[in-house]
Amino acid sequence: MSTITASEEQQVVDQVPKQLYVGGEWRDGAKGTLSVEDPATGESLAEVADASVDDAKAALDAAAKAGPDWSRHPPRERGEILRRAFQTIIDRADQLALLMTLEMGKPIAESKAEIAYGAEFLRWFSEQAVRIDGRYAVAPNGQGRLLTMKQPVGPSLLITPWNFPLAMGTRKVGPALAAGCTVVVKPAQQTPLSMLMLARILEESGLPGGVLNLITASSSSETMGPLIADPRLRKLSFTGSTEVGRKLMEQASHNLLRVSMELGGNAPFIVFDDADIDAAVQGALIAKMRNIGEACTAANRFHVAGSVMEPFAAKLADKMGSMKVGRGTEAGVEVGPLIDGRQRQKVAELVDDAVGRGARALVGGHARAGAGYFFDPTVLADVPSDAKALREEIFGPVAPVRSFADEAEAIAAANDTDYGLVAYVYTSNLGRALRVVERLETGMVGLNQGMVSNAAAPFGGIKQSGFGREGGPEGIEEYLETKYVAVNV
Ligand code: NAP
């Protein structure tokens, strides 16, 4: 990777529209602007519009107005707009990746991977737009016909987190637009720039005004509350923390909104004694270190068979300890900064808590001094069962390792959490693999692989990790209602 100059950085930031996108127009926010920070330096990158409640209502007005036309727009054309946007994202991957690294911190190579992954949702749902179908059946008594049809849910509010600034948006925008829903999108205030570029690209791809509206705001509760209470809204899709998800569900209950919740995780990574240990370490690095550990799917705790615990932990510590930490724009950097000081403080507290209870830091264990929110990749061995790091989402480059005695203990430990998003299992025994997978209380499992994300697969959790699925054939169903027609013949 050649060195990225300050003027190249400035150029990609300058290209981003910084206003609100409402009814096909870019306009200022009534509350002025809010600052977007580079987490590697703590310095301001850009100012974007700060929406008021009235701005947010205008976005819903626009979505409601555009709804009927968009729902009748030919599915093929809806798909073709998404397909053009997919291609534009791929064509501009280098600039978009740099922008993402600047606002979120992850290394450029990882931003490129997210750009490819995020764009893929637009391609996948461009193909699904023309596969929305229904059913025709003869009633069991032979007297009538049962017809079902799928129709768009209606205006949808899409709220996304900062950790995957583009993909968390395309994962919702793709199926919503393909289904014929109009949307109001609200990205996290730390990382609005990638989503603003997505809105611009969809506009350039021919999306009619009002179909997608984008609000950036310094107060999400103040601006989103009135939209969730508005009877014209029909759907809320949220990705973020379980705590906020719970609050939003309460608010959504008043209007009985259709709701999808992609919430926090506490993924166990189980390594059995029959596993290929080098492959397990490789998978562990991906499951733990992708996105600097700031992924809902991040392996949060490692449960390793007692007989292979030492070599596994030593190899993992060796690999994690040799990863280059730095600003994501620099050549060779594999670990960027955490998103902000608060997140870094939380990670430090979880490490201190585990060490205070007797865990051993095989590598790392500390925040880095200086500008930015860097934390050293950390492996903790002999982590006691009461350590907070085993219960709470770490969201940082920290791998707590514990041993287990047998299969039953491994499964019990894996399921001993309120969350249920994903689990990882490493074993070479097929029977054991299937037995364990069946008993894991999660929405997804990585079997002998450290990553599950794929636009063609249903992503989502159970328990306190939420409900609903994004991606795969299931993804578009979240934005469709089924209407049944009883036909008298
Ligand atoms: P967060 O604090 O819950 O925020 C997520 C989004 O909700 C942001 O846009 C935020 O806006 C907004 N928000 C916060 N409070 C709100 C309120 N009262 N009303 C309306 N909107 C509100 O989560 P985060 O820290 O950004 O993201 C990290 C979390 O997301 C982790 O728990 C992670 O596991 C989860 N996550 C889950 C998945 C999944 O698919 N299951 C994927 C990625 C991330 P502001 O920016 O203005 O606060």
Residue 271: CA count within 13 A, CB half-sphere = 30
Structure tokens at 384: 């006691």
Residue 237 near ligand 1, beta carbon < 6 Å: no
Structure tokens at 129: 């737009």
Residue 122 near ligand 1, beta carbon < 6 Å: no
State the catalytic residue, choosing from 110, 114, 296, 470.
Answer: 296
Concerning whether 181 is annotated as a catalytic residue, the answer is no
pLDDT score recorded for residue 190: 98
**Average pLDDT for 306-312:** 98
Phi, psi of 233 (to 5 degrees): -75, 135
Residue nearest to atom 19 of ligand 1 (CA): 221
pLDDT higher than 90, residue 397: yes
- Tell me 357's DSSP state: T
pLDDT higher than 90, residue 1: no
* Local confidence band at 230 (pLDDT 50, 70, 90 cut-offs): very high
Separation of CA 142 and ligand 1 centre (Å): 51
How far, in Å, CA of 364 to CA of 335, rounded? 13
pLDDT higher than 80, residue 173: yes
Strand bridging mode 156-159 / 235-239: parallel
How confident is the model over 325-345, as pLDDT tens digits? 999 999 999 999 999 999 999
How confident is the model over 115-166, as pLDDT tens digits? 999 999 999 999 999 999 999 999 999 999 999 999 999 999 999 999 999 9
* Longest alpha-carbon distance in the chain: 77
State the catalytic residue, choosing from 114, 262, 470, 478.
Answer: 262
**Average pLDDT for 439-446:** 98
* Local confidence band at 181 (pLDDT 50, 70, 90 cut-offs): very high
pLDDT higher than 70, residue 357: yes
pLDDT higher than 90, residue 3: no
Strands of 135-138's sheet, edge to edge?
135-138, 144-152, 480-488
Please calculate the CA angle 112-190-188 and round it to the nearest 5 degrees: 90
Residue 325 near ligand 1, beta carbon < 6 Å: no
Residue nearest to atom 9 of ligand 1 (CA): 188
Structure tokens at 458: 């249903």
Residue 247 near ligand 1, beta carbon < 6 Å: yes
Concerning whether 296 is annotated as a catalytic residue, the answer is yes
Residue 239 near ligand 1, beta carbon < 6 Å: yes
**Average pLDDT for 274-293:** 98
Element (H, E) at 270: strand 267-271
Separation of CA 347 and ligand 1 centre (Å): 17
pLDDT higher than 70, residue 358: yes
Separation of CA 397 and ligand 1 centre (Å): 19
pLDDT above 90: percentage of residues in the chain: 99
Residue nearest to atom 8 of ligand 1 (CA): 188
Residue 365 near ligand 1, beta carbon < 6 Å: no
How far, in Å, CA of 338 to CA of 375, rounded? 7
How far, in Å, CA of 81 to CA of 176, rounded? 13
How confident is the model over 371-382, as pLDDT tens digits? 999 999 999 999
How confident is the model over 64-92, as pLDDT tens digits? 999 999 999 999 999 999 999 999 999 99
Q: Is 227 left (phi over 0), alpha (psi -120 to 50) or beta?
A: alpha
How far, in Å, CA of 235 to CA of 238, rounded? 10
pLDDT score recorded for residue 271: 98
Q: Select from 34, 48, 159, 464 the residue to mutate for testing ligand 1; criterion: most ligand atoms less than 8 Å from CB.
A: 159
